[in-house]
Chains A and B, each alone.
Chain A
Amino acid sequence: MLANLTSSERQYALILASAVALAGVAMAIMGRSDVLGVHGVIVMLFGGGIAWVVMTSFYGPEPTDDRTASYYDDPIKVGIVLSMVWAVFGMFMGVWVAAQLAWPNLAFDAAWSSFGRLRPTHTTGVIFGFGGNALIATSFHVVQRTSRARLAGQVSPWFVLLGFNLFCVLAVSGYLLGITQSKEYAEAEWYADLWLVIVWVTYFILYIATIARRKEPHIYVANWYFMAFILVVAILHIINNLALPISLGHAKSYTIWPGVQDAMVQWWYGHNAVAFFLTAGFLGMLYYYLPVRAQRPIFSYRLSILSFWGIVFFYMWAGSHHLHYTALPHWVQTLGMTFSVMLLVPSWASAGNALLTLNGAWHRVRDDATLRFMMAAAVFYGLSTFEGSFMAIRPVNSLSHYTDWTVGHVHAGALGWVALITFGSLYTLVPSLWKRERMYSATLVEVHFWLAIAGTLIYVFAMWNSGIIQGLMWRTYTEEGALAYSFVDSLVAMYPYYIARAFGGLLFLIGAVIGCYNIWMTVRATPLAATRADVPVQPAAVPGE
């Protein structure tokens, strides 16, 4: 990996890693026995470990070949591996918390393994660990290929990738140790948040600088989605996490937002995290890997532009649908509801565009499980956005809110859309990145596909059932006007569905493990594909100059 760096770049990497390690030492000293101290030690080991790796090949030979003649794929490869590792971790945690809801004894009476602490390790593990690493890896791939330019940095891609993973490690270990900002999807404490700002701004600059190197005047639409993802996540993260620590030696902080403003900022963040983390970036994947895999251009490029701006503008206003019937002013709720319903239009435009691209290639969809992953993802994207727009309508939300229906909606999106499009993209990307003819085993891709579909359907149907039953039981009154069921009654009614959900999740997890094995064997075992004509483009051969 380091063979690609010149000695001055290695120096630079070493300085960065040492600086991180030193920052860890400072945190450890200031934090002492506070969680901040423990995190200081983790940061120190992380930075120190990387510094050590850099040092072991510090005096290795300089790179010889012309680096501008090839793409920079090393960070992408590592990103893919990290993404799959986080997938297994995060989904295992998901299965564990799902099982805890059915069998509470599985918390084993320890503080660190209680539901409240494990749940955010699941959400952070899958959204940021699995999804985030996959987004970073695929965005590095797509931006280079569509711009036909090498990444605009040698050390910075590593800084972004590893720095982001340090954030994830701090976040997850913090929950197990019992700290949280109590903001969903933004639970990590102030120092981790500050670190993520640095990493994310670097990511944005790197992305823009790479695009600036492109040859084509036009920027391919997948990059727009990735750029929106990077830029908006930066804005959301900074504004939602504005907080003051109680002292520099403590992990605890208090948000600067008071009361209902805090709620609004949090769900403006939360909903746009769904929109720009879990949707925009993955649409970037969809608009690149689906046409490439199907070997057909996207059905309508214009439609993709219209839906891009539609999604970017409408999503920004929809966050208040998470706060129906709260202290939030009524008109703000109505605004969020209206925009949520309008959101259906650009969402379905994207889903439809993807499916129409496949129109005429259905035989490929039938034969190729990788393409089928992406097709199913587009279908689930259409389903979950329809469901979301429906749930955002205030009277519907009065039934769905607080119930498992929300959890069912979340996982229709998260499993059916986010995870399926990611697996489809990775199965397209891995062979081409490692220059292999195909994946190690097409059968295993097929098995993974069916496990994922079965798991998702079981999960989602179980939650729809349990959610609606819950919602109805909570609003059933007796003739005297008292509630007919106690909370515990509704809990007992959930029991079979919780078991079903844990089982569906287990299938999904097994699929992901099989995917890891398949990727690993592709990297290890399959012989190199016959090298295609590998000549650089002659400028004269490119029209439109």
Chain B
Amino acid sequence: MDFSYETLVAFSKSWGLFYMMGFFLCVCAYAFWPRNRNRFDRAKHSILERDDTPWQK
């Protein structure tokens, strides 16, 4: 197949934009999803716990 320069530019200007927007929305959804709140809060505080051994089964 032969792609012309114009085809590629048209493709990236349209679909490239949509895919970036879509990606952006997914990341926002992940970051702000209410159910993730606890998880993030735990993660944020977990590194401050003062215990220097690995967990054991």
Contact = CB atoms under 8 A, between A and B. Distances in A.
B43 A218 contact: yes
Contacts of B32: 302
Interface residues of B, number: 27
Interface in B1-57: 9, 20, 23, 27-28, 30-32, 38-48, 50-57
A70 B54 contact: yes
Contacts of B57: 539
A12 interface: no
A223 to B, nearest CB: 10
Contacts of B38: 544
Contacts of A544: 38, 42
Interface in A32-88: 68-71
> Which of B27, B38, B41 has its CB near the most chain A CB atoms (within 10 A)?
B27
Interface in A151-200: none
Interface in A519-537: 532-537
A542 B55 CA distance: 10
B33 to A, nearest CB: 10
Contact of B44 (A144, A301, A331, A536): A301
Nearest to B40: A301
A389 interface: no
B39 A217 contact: yes
Contacts of B44: 291, 297-298, 301
A220 B49 CA distance: 14
Q: How large is the interface on A (under 10, 10 to 19, 20 to 34, 35 or more residues)?
A: 35 or more
A537 B39 contact: no
A536 B56 contact: yes
A146 B55 CA distance: 11
B40 A144 contact: no
Nearest to A305: B31
Contact of B53 (A71, A146, A306): A71
A142 to B, nearest CB: 9
A295 B48 CA distance: 7
Contacts of A495: none
A169 B9 CA distance: 44
Interface in A221-236: 221-222
A306 B27 contact: yes
B56 to A, nearest CB: 5
A150 interface: yes
B46 A292 contact: no
Given A301-B40, A302-B31, A306-B28, A532 B46 contact: no
Given A295-B48, A537-B51, A68 B42 contact: no
A218 B42 contact: yes
Given A296-B48, A297-B44, A534-B53, 14 more contacts: A69-B53, A70-B54, A71-B53, A144-B54, A146-B46, A149-B55, A216-B46, A301-B40, A305-B31, A306-B27, A309-B23, A313-B20, A432-B52, A539-B57
4 cross-chain pairs, A with B, having the tightest CB-CB distances, nearest first: A297-B44, A301-B40, A302-B31, A309-B27
